């Protein structure tokens, strides 16, 4: 049975050349990068080469890049680490405001929810709403910032519907009201699909993760602009300037660096491939399924990731359709992989004003550069066949 993978926002398959790099270095570079002898020094050199590659793709100094285990750790380190530093060193002596949105990844959203439990004493937490396309209203954003605001964390691109926020404009608004506000951006879903330039965005911190653009899982990075201070979340050795202690995951870091180079070199080409695949699939869905089921597009038409299409098949339970597609070797999801065990509807779709019953009908298709048009043709045929054979919906019959 042919397998078709259409869940690249959850994770991407490891690129073949990256896989060969891992196999090559896994046996060669077993030395601890902190060791003083030759095999340790060689490992250190390779780690620093990768730091330069990561810096290159986001346009920063390599001294501003800290390796982590991935997006979740990077987000936690950015948010909690910066707040902990301010509290520990006396720069917070009153209740302060921190701002995020209602559609963040759970590794940001749940951090803010935890911080809101401290709200009576420490934090005034603001969760900004979004419109029905998944965008933050700029006037509401502007009015949410007051003189007590110290931290803002807003994602670059949403992992479920693909909406790309106007981060550059937001940073300018925030800094014009208070230049000392720390602005963090979760760019995990954006890097590798769209241009990410920290100098152009003028942000203070940015999170990225290797496995979202054909690199290995379990490795990511946090950009911290020079002059911004963060306090570690845990303690140990001197690795990563003591901000992220622990022996480095050398081979994965090396592979991460190569994945960054590949993403940077192929960005424009891949953007066109993904954009064309997405349009082809969307057009075919409406052409082939219009007579048997109501199809609603939740992803915005503009300012959207080129590979992401969130669709509601009205009246059809998404988990059932996903399961039946899986039996046919077609792999999609209803949203974030981090919420796959939950029966609750997507918090992103609910925040966009989509009714709960319709949110239960949503499926996210996220395409990759290895997908072909024939894969998408087969996927639509399978969806149509499943709907008809299982009598899942007769709303347009």
What domains sit in the chain, N to C, each tagged with a CATH number?
A: 4-12+266-389 (3.90.1150.10), 16-265 (3.40.640.10)
Nearest CA among 301, 274, 317, 288 for reference residue 379: 288
- The one-character DSSP state at 189 is T
88's tokens: 């520990």
- The residue with tokens 């699909």 is 193
The CA dihedral of 238, 243, 244, 245, to the nearest 10 degrees, is: 20
Alpha-carbon distance 364 to 338, whole Å? 14
Asked if the model's pLDDT at residue 298 lies above 60, the reply is: yes
Asked if the model's pLDDT at residue 309 lies above 80, the reply is: yes
Q: What is the mean pLDDT of residues 289-293?
A: 88
How many alpha carbons lie under 13 Å from residue 213 in its C-beta half-sphere?
A: 31
The total of other beta-carbon atoms located within 10 Å of residue 88's CB is 11
Q: What is the mean pLDDT of residues 121-131?
A: 93
Q: Which of 85-99, 132-146, 339-353 has the lowest mean pLDDT?
A: 339-353
- Of 60, 185, 312, 338, the active-site residue reads 338
Please report the pLDDT score of residue 397 as a whole number: 39
Asked if the model's pLDDT at residue 396 lies above 50, the reply is: no
Task: Using a pLDDT cut of 90, give the percent of the chain over it.
Answer: 88
What lies within 8 Å, CB to CB, of 180 at 6+ separation is 150
Please report the pLDDT score of residue 93 as a whole number: 73
Nearest CA among 253, 273, 173 for reference residue 209: 253
| Residue 312 is among the residues annotated as catalytic for this protein | no
Phi and psi at residue 125, in whole multiples of 5°?
Answer: -100, 125
Q: How far does CA 366 lie from the centroid of its chain? A: 13
pLDDT tens digits, residue range 235-244? 999 999 999 9
What lies within 8 Å, CB to CB, of 233 at 6+ separation is 76, 77, 80, 81, 84
Alpha-carbon distance 94 to 82, whole Å? 16
378's tokens: 């087969």
| Contact (Cβ atoms closer than 8 angstroms) between residue 170 and residue 154 | yes
Q: Look at strands 182-186 and 149-153 and give their pairing.
A: parallel
The count of residues in the chain is 397
Q: What is the mean pLDDT of residues 304-318?
A: 96
pLDDT tens digits, residue range 6-42? 999 999 999 999 999 999 999 889 999 999 999 999 9
Alpha-carbon distance 70 to 371, whole Å? 25
The total of other beta-carbon atoms located within 10 Å of residue 180's CB is 9
pLDDT tens digits, residue range 315-325? 999 999 999 99
Asked if the model's pLDDT at residue 276 lies above 80, the reply is: yes
């Amino acid at each position: 049975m042919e397998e078709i993978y259409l869940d690249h926002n959850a994770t991407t398959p490891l690129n073949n050349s990256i896989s060969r790099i891992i196999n090559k270095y896994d046996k060669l570079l077993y030395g601890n990068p902190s060791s003083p002898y030759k095999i340790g020094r060689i490992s250190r050199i390779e780690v620093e080469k990768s730091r330069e590659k990561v810096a290159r793709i986001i346009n920063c100094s390599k001294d501003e890049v800290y390796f982590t285990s991935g997006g979740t750790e990077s987000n936690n380190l950015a948010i909690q680490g910066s707040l902990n530093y301010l509290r520990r060193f006396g720069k917070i002596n009153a209740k302060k405001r921190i701002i995020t949105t209602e559609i963040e990844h759970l590794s940001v959203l749940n951090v803010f929810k935890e911080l809101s439990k401290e709200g009576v004493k420490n934090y005034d937490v603001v969760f900004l709403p979004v419109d029905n396309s998944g965008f933050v209203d700029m006037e509401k954003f502007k009015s949410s910032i007051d003189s007590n605001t110290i931290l803002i964390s807003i994602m670059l691109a949403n992992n479920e519907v693909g909406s790309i926020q106007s981060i550059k404009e937001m940073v300018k608004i925030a800094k014009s009201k208070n230049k000392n506000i720390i602005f963090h951006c979760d760019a995990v879903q954006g890097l590798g699909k769209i241009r990410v330039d920290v100098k152009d965005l003028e942000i203070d911190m940015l999170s990225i993760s290797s496995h979202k653009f054909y690199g290995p899982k379990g490795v990511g990075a946090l950009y911290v602009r020079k002059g911004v201070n963060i306090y570690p979340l845990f303690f140990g050795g001197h690795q990563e300037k003591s901000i992220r202690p622990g022996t480095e995951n050398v081979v994965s870091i090396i592979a991460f660096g190569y994945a960054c180079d590949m993403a940077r070199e192929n960005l424009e080409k891949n953007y066109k491939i993904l954009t064309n695949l997405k349009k082809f699939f969307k057009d075919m869905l409406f052409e082939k399924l219009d007579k048997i089921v109501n199809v609603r597009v939740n992803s915005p038409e503009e300012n959207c990731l080129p590979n992401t299409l969130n669709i509601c098949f009205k009246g059809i339970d998404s988990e059932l359709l996903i399961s039946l597609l899986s039996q046919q070797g077609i792999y999609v999801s209803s949203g974030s992989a981090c919420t796959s065990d939950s029966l609750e509807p997507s918090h992103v779709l609910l925040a966009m004003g989509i009714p709960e019953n319709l949110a239960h009908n949503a499926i996210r298709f996220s395409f990759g550069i290895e997908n072909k048009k024939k894969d998408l043709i087969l996927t639509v045929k399978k969806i149509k066949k499943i709907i008809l054979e299982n009598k899942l919906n007769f709303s347009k019959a």
